Chains A and B, each alone.
Chain A
């Protein structure tokens, strides 16, 4: 049996950080990873250190949406042939895992080693959860179909907000364990000790046309001056759910991560294989016009469409 652990959570909530922690924690075990990115190009696979780990990647959609389900199923079957103890799946930020149990049941006879759906983590971003929960049905489903819910970034919110979030989570999923954390710091081993009861839950996924957002990729042409990049990102952030990527700037390599209006730019010492930025739109196809207008105003040839 391969123990399957699912990681869900909205864009920018901290899934990749948690995945890295899980990899470190289970370093002595044989593990496999399946990463699902929404953009056409994967960014997260660059971040996760994959030494000695079996890894599969599925981009350009949600693994639970019909558009990627076939590939997801194939990847699960392929990975079941490997000698693994654990498989971690990092679902895209907009994934709706409602039909995960059905998927596993449907492919059961094709699996070489069976999967034991052990845990589903849902990481919620304390800074925006209360704003998003009424807007995004997939987020509500992520909370409902998980057994361990991490309220992340509690260092950035008040106690009252944290209590509101706990209450809301409890209303949606009273059986889940709820853990507060910042930077995904919590006792992983303890959290994963209890049984999950996940196999009882199955429902139609909400990953249909309405929840499928527009993505866009920008490529670096030459070193990006920070004085051009910052006003550009500020300008377009309001039209995105997420901006994420790596660039060479006049201040060195950076990892760029912007959730809503909250921008984080960190130095990136490692090699950048593909310098690009993935944008996930909150305004549909109009993002194309917003980005082009802002590029004309702020960027002088260092980034292109």
Chain B
């Protein structure tokens, strides 16, 4: 039974099979012809779509809703809705010079915002498929929530006012604990603490400012008898160790991290690793063979390090338009590993880069800042990296310009290959990779750009 397979894996016991958890967030809506907004606001449509995910993708575990903005919306952020993406945060009510902490009265309850709808959907899906499928309740991690509330200033606060940062992240951890409580009460087996931005912070700073509040959340989830998983996006290679030290049952990473290397780290802590089928190149734009090959290669590479303690899943929330057949191909590969390996043994994936034109940096009048992002409407780190440049644009526009590329745009992908992008998001200045998976503060960024002014 799929659920037991997930439980055993998260208890770090030996299993014969590898569990499969497709993160069909907004993509679930596509299966039934609903927009992301319809899916994330309408209980019946959400439940109907999730049951379709269950039917088509035969998951061992599945999330109910992948939307990191639920909490921020309740506390006071305005959201911008999209048809094919989760909403993004439009306003940061706690930005500005008045450093304050939101009122405890704003901490979500069973009656706030979209929570009643989510809890009902959780109970209904639990009733329908919860017997054999592990259900994941996803909550926004305390640091990403803090950045939703405070905006990009949070990165400077960490340096200039650690006490305030601690207090704000502490508040967000209280929110995370309340969310966990409600989701566990509604029948969730696993609470995924999704904090994409943790990959943008140095391990030293994480230890200083984030470890305690995160540990409190994981301790709470365990004390309530549920499992916890720590989801991160971006190049979290250096952060995985401190993430493990916070004590989750599992860690889940995206394609920016080398899976076998990550497995070596999580094995040291006896923590389950999850990931990391590439969302765009493989799931969205690849074909069925690409997806099968990816799953087989991934499983084989991880098994070379060790057996067990591994969940295969997409790197993060699947793109809305992921072809259904590609996800089915992944499911088939996981469930029928040996025959799939045989099927694709001579298959090669090729990306044609011959049409990519690289700017003439040496002869350009202005400094060229280029942002190589995933989907900035979906990836919080990408959103904040773009915001970092947009926020200073008025100050630099006389001597610099910027360009944004998105990995979710098929035509942009060859450029990433030609430019040798290994990790996303990355910011280049005149073609040099200056900020890899790190969001610079305003002062730092302006200084870096000025180095290239002729």
Interface residues, chain A, with chain B CB atoms under 8 Å away? 40, 60-61, 66-68, 208-210, 212, 214, 284-289, 292-293, 295-296, 305
* CB-contact partner of A285 in B100, B103, B104, B174, under 8 A: B174
Residues of A close to B105: CB separation below 8 A? 60-61, 67-68
Residues of A close to B219: CB separation below 8 A? 288-289, 292-293
B8 within 8 A of partner (CB): no
Q: By the criterion CB–CB under 8 Å, are B101 and A305 in contact?
A: no
Q: Which residue of B lies closest to A215 (CB)?
A: B104
- Decide: A67 near B103, CB < 8 A? Known: A285-B170, A285-B212, A292-B219: yes
Q: By the criterion CB–CB under 8 Å, are A209 and B100 in contact?
A: yes
Q: Which residue of A lies closest to B169 (CB)?
A: A285
A102 CB to closest chain B CB, in angstroms?
Answer: 19
* CB-contact partner of A284 in B99, B181, B212, under 8 A: B212
Among all A-B residue pairs, the 6 with the closest Cβ atoms? A67-B103, A209-B101, A288-B216, A285-B170, A292-B223, A292-B219
B432 within 8 A of partner (CB): no
Q: Which residue of B lies closest to A208 (CB)?
A: B100
B245 within 8 A of partner (CB): no
* CB-contact partner of A286 in B101, B212, B222, under 8 A: B212
Q: By the criterion CB–CB under 8 Å, are B170 and A284 in contact?
A: yes
Q: By the criterion CB–CB under 8 Å, are A289 and B101 in contact?
A: no
* CB-contact partner of A305 in B215, B217, B220, under 8 A: B220
Residues of B close to A305: CB separation below 8 A? 181, 220, 223-224
Q: Which residue of A lies closest to B223 (CB)?
A: A292
| Interface residues as binary, B174-199 with A (CB distance below 8 Å gives 1, 0 otherwise) | 10010001000000000000000000
A59 CB to closest chain B CB, in angstroms?
Answer: 10
Residues of B close to A288: CB separation below 8 A? 173, 177, 216-217, 219-220
Residues of B close to A212: CB separation below 8 A? 101, 104
A288 CB to closest chain B CB, in angstroms?
Answer: 4
19 A-B pairs besides A40-B104, A284-B167, A288-B177 with CB distance below 8 A are: A60-B104, A61-B103, A67-B104, A67-B105, A68-B105, A208-B101, A209-B99, A209-B100, A212-B101, A284-B166, A285-B213, A287-B216, A288-B216, A288-B217, A288-B220, A289-B216, A289-B219, A292-B219, A293-B219
Number of inter-chain CB pairs below 8 Å: 60
Residues of B close to A210: CB separation below 8 A? 163, 167
B164 within 8 A of partner (CB): yes
Residues of A close to B212: CB separation below 8 A? 284-286, 289
Residues of A close to B217: CB separation below 8 A? 288
* CB-contact partner of B223 in A209, A286, A287, A295, under 8 A: A295
A40 to B177, alpha carbons, bound, how many Å?
15
Residues of A close to B164: CB separation below 8 A? 209
A125 CB to closest chain B CB, in angstroms?
Answer: 25
A288 to B212, alpha carbons, bound, how many Å?
10
Q: By the criterion CB–CB under 8 Å, are B174 and A214 in contact?
A: yes
Residues of B close to A295: CB separation below 8 A? 223
- Decide: A292 near B220, CB < 8 A? Known: A284-B170, A285-B174: yes
Which of A67, A208, A285, A296 lies at the interface centre, i.e. has the most chain B CB atoms within 10 A of its CB? A285
A118 to B412, alpha carbons, bound, how many Å?
73
A94 to B36, alpha carbons, bound, how many Å?
45
Q: Which residue of A lies closest to B103 (CB)?
A: A67
* CB-contact partner of B216 in A61, A286, A296, under 8 A: A286
Q: By the criterion CB–CB under 8 Å, are B216 and A285 in contact?
A: yes
A284 to B168, alpha carbons, bound, how many Å?
11
* CB-contact partner of B173 in A66, A68, A208, A285, under 8 A: A285
| B211-235 at interface with A (beta carbon < 8 Å) | 212-213, 215-217, 219-220, 222-224
A66 to B223, alpha carbons, bound, how many Å?
33
Q: By the criterion CB–CB under 8 Å, are A214 and B170 in contact?
A: yes
Residues of A close to B168: CB separation below 8 A? 209
A305 to B217, alpha carbons, bound, how many Å?
13
27 pairs from A and B in contact (CB 8 Å cutoff): A208-B100, A209-B100, A209-B101, A209-B164, A210-B163, A212-B104, A214-B170, A214-B174, A285-B170, A285-B173, A285-B212, A286-B212, A286-B215, A287-B216, A288-B177, A288-B216, A288-B219, A289-B212, A289-B219, A292-B219, A292-B222, A292-B223, A293-B219, A296-B223, A305-B220, A305-B223, A305-B224
Q: Which residue of A lies closest to B164 (CB)?
A: A209
Residues of B close to A284: CB separation below 8 A? 166-167, 170, 212
A208 to B164, alpha carbons, bound, how many Å?
11
Residues of A close to B170: CB separation below 8 A? 214, 284-285
A283 CB to closest chain B CB, in angstroms?
Answer: 9
| B83-120 at interface with A (beta carbon < 8 Å) | 99-101, 103-105
A288 to B164, alpha carbons, bound, how many Å?
20
A64 to B223, alpha carbons, bound, how many Å?
35
A285 to B105, alpha carbons, bound, how many Å?
17
A212 to B164, alpha carbons, bound, how many Å?
12
Residues of B close to A287: CB separation below 8 A? 216
Residues of A close to B224: CB separation below 8 A? 305
| Interface residues as binary, B24-54 with A (CB distance below 8 Å gives 1, 0 otherwise) | 0000000000000000000000000000000
A289 to B177, alpha carbons, bound, how many Å?
12
Residues of A close to B101: CB separation below 8 A? 208-209, 212
